[in-house]
C-alpha cells in the first residue's frame, strides 16, 4: 500500500493542469488516454453516471483520430493537378490502388467527400476546391521551414534530381559529379531519379537542391541554367527498316507508324515539342500512344511495337544492340536545364553547377536565365 501511495504521489506531480477528473468505468481499462490511480478532488462527479470520481483522464485532442500527414496532403495536390488517379500514381511512383485508399482515408478524416471518381478521371467537389489551395499553402509554408532548417548542414551535400534521360545516359551528370569530387572530396552528391514534372515540388520542399530537366517548365520560381540544346532524334528498334535509310529521314515519310509518346503529366515540355512536331508535319495516318515516362517509351520501342521521338542525349543507347537513333531532316530541339535556388543555393550546389557547365562546355555554351 505504501508503494501504491508513493506511486500515486509521483503521478500527481506530472498531472496536467487541464486534466478532467472522471469516475472509472470498466471500459476505461483499455483506454490509453486514461491515467489510473489518481484520486479526484473532493466533490468531483462522473460526467457519465454522477458517481464520485477516482480516475484522472487527459483532455483528448480533437485531432486524435483526424491527423493528416503532409504526405497525404501532397498526394491530394498531385491527384488534383493530374486530374487522374492513374497519372498521379505514375508521377508519385506509387501503386494506384494504394493512392485510391489514401484519398478515401483523407475524405474520412476530413468528414466530407473531396472528389468524384470516374473512368474519365477525378473532379473536385466544392469541399475539394476549398481544400486544394489551402493544402498548397500548408505545404509551401512547411517546405519553407524545412528548407531553412536543412540549410544548416547541407553546405557540403547536394541532392540532385534528374529526369530518367539523365541517369545514366546523359554523360555530363556523372562527369560533373566526378569533377566535383576531385576538386573537394568533402562534397557528397546523391542522385535521385524524378520526372521533370515532379522536380519543382522536390525543390520547394527541400528534398533536392538542384534538378536537371528537359525544357523550361512554366511558372517555376527558381533560377534556370541552360546546360545544352538537345536535338530530337528518332528512336527505333535495331532491324527496323528506318535503320537502313542511310541518312536523315523526314517526319512526313513516317506515315502509318506507331509513335510512343511520353505522358504530358510526366514530361510536359518533351510531350509538347514532339506532339507539336507530328501535328505540324501532318504525318499521314500517324498513331500516337502514351507510354508514361522516357524509360517506358524506350521499353516499348525495344519490343519493336513502334518508334519514338527522343532527345539525342539518349544516343548512348545505340551501343545496346537493341535500339538505334536515326537523325531527322526537321530541326527539332529541346533545352536541358539545371534548376536551382540561385544566390540562395548552398556551396555544394553552386560548385556542382559550375562543374555541370564545364562538362557541357564542349557541346554548347551554358547561359543562365531567370524565369519569372
pLDDT at 295: 84
* Opening angle at CA 370, ends 189 and 348, nearest 5: 20
Cis peptide before 232 (omega within 30 of 0): no
CB 177 within 8 A of CB 365: no
Report, as an integer, the average pLDDT of 240-261.
89
Q: In this prediction, what percent of the chain has a pLDDT beyond 70?
A: 71
Residue 35 is predicted with a pLDDT of 34
**How confident is residue 328, by pLDDT bands cut at 50, 70 and 90?**
very high
pLDDT: which is higher, 250 or 219? 250
Q: What pLDDT is stored for residue 23 in this prediction?
A: 40
Is pLDDT above 80 for 363? no
- Whether 64 maps to a domain, the answer reads no
Angle between helices 96-110 and 85-92 (to 10 degrees): 110
- Hey, which residues does 232 pair with through a beta bridge? 311
State which residues form the domain around 37.
2-57
Which of 90, 217, 235, 223 lies closest to 169, judged by CA?
A: 235
Residue 59: predicted pLDDT: 46
* Residue where a domain stops, chosen among 116, 150, 184: 150
Among 135, 150, 165, identify where a domain stops.
150
- Euclidean distance between CA atoms 110 and 80, whole angstroms: 16
pTM beyond 0.75, yes or no: no
Domain co-membership, 330 together with 342:
no
Question: Is 131 found in the same domain as 34?
Answer: no
Name which of 78-82, 245-249, 346-350 the model is least confident about: 346-350
Beta strands (DSSP E) in the chain are: 20-22, 34-35, 55-57, 115-118, 121-124, 157-162, 188-193, 210-214, 223-237, 258-262, 287-292, 308-311, 323-326, 333-340, 367-370
The residue ranking higher by pLDDT, 170 or 209, is 209
CA distances from 245 to 60, 88, 146, 277, 283 (A): 74, 40, 54, 21, 18
Total domain count, the chain:
4
108-122 confidence digits (pLDDT tens): 989 999 999 988 889
Residue 65 lies in a domain: no
Q: Measure CA 168 to chain center.
A: 20
**CATH at residue 319:** 3.40.190.10
Count CB-CB contacts under 10 A for residue 102: 19
291 inside domain:
yes
Domain assignment present for 40: yes
Same domain, yes or no: 116 and 163:
no
Task: Tell me how far apart the alpha carbons of residues 192 and 212 are, in angstroms, rounded to a whole number.
Answer: 10
Q: Does residue 63 form part of some domain?
A: no
Under the banding of pLDDT at 50, 70 and 90, the label for residue 318 is low
pLDDT of 169: 53
**Is the pLDDT at 63 greater than 60, yes or no?**
no
Phi, psi for 290 (deg, rounded to 5): -80, 140
142/165 same-domain check: no
Statement to judge: residues 82 and 136 lie in one domain: yes
Between 113 and 62, the higher pLDDT residue: 113
310 lies in some domain: yes
Residue 189 lies in a domain: yes
The last residue of one of the domains, among 150, 171, 192, is 150
Based on the domain organization, do 89 and 221 belong to the same domain? no
**In the predicted model, what is the mean pLDDT of residues 23-43?**
40
- Specify whether 170 is located in the same domain as 188: yes
b/e per residue, 195-227, with b = 16+ CB within 10 A?
A: bbbbbbbbbbbbbbbbbbbbbbbeebebbbbbb
Reported as a pLDDT band with limits 50, 70 and 90, residue 28 is very low
The reply to whether 216 and 238 lie within a common domain is no
- Asked whether the predicted pLDDT for residue 343 surpasses 80, the reply is no
pLDDT at 320: 63
**Which of the four pLDDT bands, split at 50, 70 and 90, describes residue 52?**
very low
Residues 351 and 296 in one domain: no
pLDDT band at 149 (very low <50, low <70, confident <90, very high): low
- Supply the DSSP symbol for 323: E
Can you give the CATH number for the domain in which 95 is found? 1.10.10.10
Do 319 and 238 share a structural domain?
Answer: yes
Residue in the block written with cell 475539394: 128
Residue of 145, 86, 84, 80 lying closest to 106 (CA atoms): 80
What are the distances in angstroms from CA 340 to CA 61, 221, 273? Answer: 40, 9, 24
More confident residue, 205 or 56: 205
DSSP string, 143-189: HHHHHHHHTTT-TTEEEEEE-GGGSSS-THHHHHHHHHHHH-TT-EE
For residue 143, what are the contacts with CB-CB under 8 A and spacing of at least 6? Answer: 204, 205, 206
Give Cα 60 distance to the centre of its chain: 35
In angstroms, the CA 233 to CA 212 distance is 20
**85 and 99: one domain?**
yes
Question: Are 328 and 233 contained in the same domain?
Answer: yes
- Are the beta carbons of 37 and 43 closer than 8 angstroms? no
Between 189 and 50, where is the model more confident? 189
Residue at 198 is within a domain: yes
Amino acid at each position: 500500500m505504501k508503494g501504491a501511495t508513493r506511486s500515486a504521489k509521483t503521478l500527481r506531480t506530472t498531472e496536467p493542469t487541464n486534466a478532467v477528473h472522471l469516475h472509472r468505468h470498466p471500459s476505461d481499462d483499455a483506454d490509453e488516454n486514461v491515467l489510473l490511480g489518481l484520486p479526484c478532488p473532493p466533490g468531483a462527479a462522473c460526467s457519465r453516471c454522477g458517481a464520485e470520481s477516482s480516475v484522472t483522464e487527459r483532455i483528448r485532442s480533437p485531432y486524435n483520430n483526424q491527423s493528416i500527414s503532409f504526405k497525404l496532403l501532397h498526394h491530394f495536390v498531385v491527384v488534383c493537378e493530374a486530374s487522374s488517379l492513374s497519372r498521379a500514381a505514375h508521377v508519385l511512383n506509387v501503386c494506384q490502388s494504394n493512392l485510391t485508399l489514401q484519398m478515401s482515408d483523407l475524405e474520412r478524416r476530413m468528414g466530407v467527400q473531396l472528389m468524384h471518381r470516374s473512368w474519365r478521371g477525378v473532379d473536385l467537389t466544392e469541399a475539394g476546391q476549398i481544400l486544394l489551395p489551402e493544402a498548397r499553402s500548408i505545404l509551401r509554408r512547411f517546405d519553407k521551414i524545412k528548407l531553412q532548417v536543412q540549410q544548416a548542414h547541407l553546405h557540403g551535400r547536394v541532392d540532385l534530381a534528374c529526369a530518367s534521360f539523365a541517369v545514366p545516359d546523359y554523360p555530363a551528370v556523372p562527369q560533373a559529379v566526378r569533377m566535383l569530387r576531385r576538386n573537394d572530396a568533402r562534397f557528397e552528391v546523391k542522385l535521385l531519379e524524378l520526372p521533370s514534372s515532379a522536380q519543382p515540388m522536390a525543390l520547394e520542399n527541400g528534398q533536392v537542391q538542384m534538378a536537371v530537366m528537359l525544357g523550361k517548365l512554366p511558372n517555376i520560381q527558381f533560377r534556370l541554367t541552360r546546360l545544352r540544346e538537345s536535338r530530337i532524334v528518332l528512336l527505333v528498334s535495331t532491324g527496323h527498316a528506318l535503320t537502313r535509310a542511310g541518312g536523315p529521314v523526314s517526319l512526313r515519310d513516317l506515315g502509318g507508324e506507331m509513335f510512343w509518346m511520353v505522358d504530358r503529366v510526366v514530361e510536359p515540355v518533351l510531350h509538347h515539342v514532339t506532339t507539336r512536331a507530328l501535328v505540324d508535319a501532318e504525318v499521314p495516318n500517324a498513331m500516337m500512344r502514351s507510354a508514361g515516362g522516357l524509360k517506358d517509351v524506350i521499353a516499348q520501342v525495344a519490343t519493336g511495337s513502334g518508334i519514338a521521338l527522343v532527345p539525342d542525349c539518349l544516343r548512348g543507347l545505340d551501343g545496346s544492340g537493341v535500339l538505334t537513333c536515326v537523325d531527322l531532316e526537321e530541326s527539332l530541339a529541346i533545352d536541358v536545364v539545371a534548376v536551382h535556388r540561385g544566390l540562395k543555393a548552398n556551396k555544394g550546389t553552386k560548385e556542382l553547377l559550375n562543374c555541370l557547365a564545364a562538362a557541357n562546355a564542349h557541346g554548347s555554351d551554358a547561359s543562365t536565365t531567370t524565369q519569372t
